[in-house]
Copies of this chain bind each other. A is one copy, B any other.
Amino acid sequence: METSALQKERASYQPKLPKALKGAVKIKEGEPTQSVDNHEEIKKLFPNTYGMPLVEFVPAEKQESFRINVGVILSGGQAPGGHNVISGLYDELKKLNPENRLFGFLMGPGGLVDHNYIEITDVLMNKYRNTGGFDLIGSGRTKLEKEEQFEKGLEIIRELDIKALVIVGGDDSNTNACVLAEYYAAKKYGVQVIGCPKTIDGDLKNDQIETSFGFDTATKTYSELIGNIARDCNSARKYWHFIKLMGRSASHIALECALQTQPNICLISEEIEAKDLSLNDIVEDIATVVARRAHDGRNYGVVLIPEGLIEFIPSIGRLIEELNDLLAEHGNDYKDLDIDAQRAYIIEHLSEGNKATFETLPEGVARQLSLDRDPHGNVQVSLIETERLISDMVAMKLNKWAKQGKYNGSFATLHHFLGYEGRCAAPSNFDADYCYSLGTSAVQLIANGKTGYMAIIKNTTEKAEDWIAGGVPITMMMNIERRNGELKPVIRKALVELDGAPFKEFVKLRSKWAKETSYIYPGPVQYWGPSDVCDQTTRTLALEQGKEVFVF
């Protein structure tokens, strides 16, 4: 395998650990916990893993050698730092006993079910330290949720003498990790299951999980690119750049990137939903900013659009919800129809209000809503070209205003979608340290006999040394939600909070950004050099924790 100069130099970086995880470790247990909502239902569904205490690791004088084989699975979309979770697992396992073995199941949860795995060796591990991507063992989106999968997985678990599984994933995957933990506990199979909070989207976060890994690096990478585009915009002064950002439902990525780069406009889906704005309202708001800037001689700008926007426009959200349920229920009747018949089928089966919304959508968007769905049965929002849809509608609005004499500018647009450019970036110092600490914590949870827990690291705006490592029972983060037409126990997804500090900071600044040109150009992620450049936390995390925000 040929590697870049950066990768070679970066291989020798030793990720920093919290004080408590540096040497021998012991566990400190807190009070019993309960789920965030629906206590009785969750308790009934998880009799063996409900109500367990929060735990924290503290330094010990010595720790007994501990012999175990562990399996690790990377689940869902890539996020910078996945390989460092694995190196954290690997190093801590070897520290506890050099005989310990770590197996990686290949291409996601499917690798467990289909018995595809490799053993992680020294040579292999060293090639992947501090690198981006999940290519060491691959990832996949198979959902681990059926008993037959659990039983099939058990065969290889037994064969490899594995006593614990670590599942690295987002909210869905960690929900499933908990179901699996409960199943193996109920069956007394003696197999522990531990989760790790991964997702660039930033929506796996709550009182216990300060941030999911990958969010830091991905938002820095996107902000690098947004800054470069903004600088281009401010040099040529003739284009409006519409930039859609990955991030699924929540707008955390868009908000964080806005705070880092100060674009003229950033849409926040959660606000649009709360204010019950229509597509036309959004278009009118943008056109108003464009017209004002044109009036000031500024026929250029940058607009950030969160990937999930379209679902959060309430009328369209209601439509998508019914479509998700409808197609989950009737998918088989529907999937072999031709395009026109599919459209007719949908119109026939929708309720009145949603039918009206569906019929008024531009055809391309209507088709995208009714076709491709991800393996969880949801609309693949990333395929909808919202950035073009919105800029086209803004152009139409401006044309109308021009005819009415209310606008006299030029509106030339360029479109970008940033997503795959950042999910596999080499982890920033923060993500490299954070992930390595998560992996280390996961092993300590295992060594302390825990199952149905997620590894956590708190106090993350301080120096790594002062981070607090521990674990949280996954049931503690659960509630009951409707998914694909069924009520299910799931980890509550964290959306942007409109009374949270990051959004409030954004609101304070955005009218200035809209009128003036306040772009900030963060530049590429740096690994060496001044600490204020290399070790900055995200603005979201700093604001949420009430830390002083860098005065740029």
Q: Which residues of A contact B (CB under 8 A)?
A: 2-10, 78, 107, 131-135, 138-140, 221, 224-225, 227-229, 231-232, 234-237, 241, 260, 262, 414, 416, 420-426, 518, 520-530, 532-533, 536, 550, 552
Contacts and interface: CB of A to CB of B under 8 A. Distances in A.
A132 B227 CA distance: 10
Given A135-B234, A228-B424, A416-B420, 13 more contacts: A2-B518, A4-B521, A9-B529, A9-B530, A78-B231, A132-B228, A133-B231, A138-B236, A228-B425, A229-B420, A229-B421, A425-B523, A426-B521
Given A228-B420, A421-B229, A529-B528, A138 B2 contact: no
Enumerate the 10 nearest inter-chain pairs by beta-carbon distance, A residue then B residue, closest first: A528-B529, A524-B524, A133-B231, A231-B424, A6-B523, A134-B235, A2-B552, A232-B424, A4-B522, A528-B528
A552 B3 contact: yes
Given A107-B237, A138-B235, A521-B426, A6 B526 contact: yes
A200 to B, nearest CB: 11
A6 B232 contact: no
A133, A232, A525, A529: residue with the most chain B Cβ atoms closer than 10 Å: A232
25 contacts: A2-B520, A4-B520, A4-B522, A6-B526, A7-B521, A8-B532, A9-B529, A10-B523, A78-B236, A107-B237, A131-B231, A131-B521, A132-B228, A132-B523, A134-B235, A134-B236, A138-B235, A139-B235, A228-B424, A228-B425, A229-B420, A229-B424, A231-B424, A241-B420, A524-B525
Contact of A262 (B2, B221, B414): B2
Nearest to A108: B236
B78 A235 contact: yes
A314 to B, nearest CB: 30
A425 B229 CA distance: 9
A340 B27 CA distance: 76
A231 B139 CA distance: 12
A236 to B, nearest CB: 6
B4 A523 contact: yes
Nearest to A132: B231
A420 B418 CA distance: 12
A532 B135 contact: no
A5 B529 CA distance: 11
Contact of A426 (B232, B523, B552): B523
Contacts of A421: 225, 228-229, 416, 421
A241 B421 CA distance: 11
A241 B2 CA distance: 21
A538 B23 CA distance: 44
